[in-house]
């Protein structure tokens, strides 16, 4: 298993996509703080698709890279973390 990539390890395109989805999905500062704490713990993630449910949103990724945010009711693919 790999560790999740940090913000500075993401390409500019992925960072911009995540920022856009945060705005579209109206992710709050409290939500972002929960995400920050989780990412700072350097969690291991599988090589394939995965998702982490934070209650009010889901973070979806593939391998080391977070890819997008989903709303609470949206279906996610891959391994649930």
Query: Are the CB atoms for 59 and 52 separated by under 8 Å?
Result: yes
Query: Are the CB atoms for 68 and 57 separated by under 8 Å?
Result: no
CA distance 50 to 8: 20
Domain ranges of the chain: 2-80
Residues of the chain with pLDDT under 50: none
pLDDT for 61 equals: 95
pLDDT for 77 equals: 94
The pTM of the full predicted model, rounded to 2 decimals, is 0.84
């Amino acid at each position: 298993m790999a560790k999740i990539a940090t913000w500075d390890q993401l390409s500019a395109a992925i960072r911009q996509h995540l920022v856009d989805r945060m705005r579209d999905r109206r992710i709050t500062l409290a939500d972002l703080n929960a995400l920050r704490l989780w990412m700072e713990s350097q969690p291991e993630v599988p090589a394939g698709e995965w998702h982490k449910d934070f209650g009010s949103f889901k973070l979806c990724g593939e391998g080391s890279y977070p890819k997008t945010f989903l709303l609470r009711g949206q279906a996610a693919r891959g391994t649930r973390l």
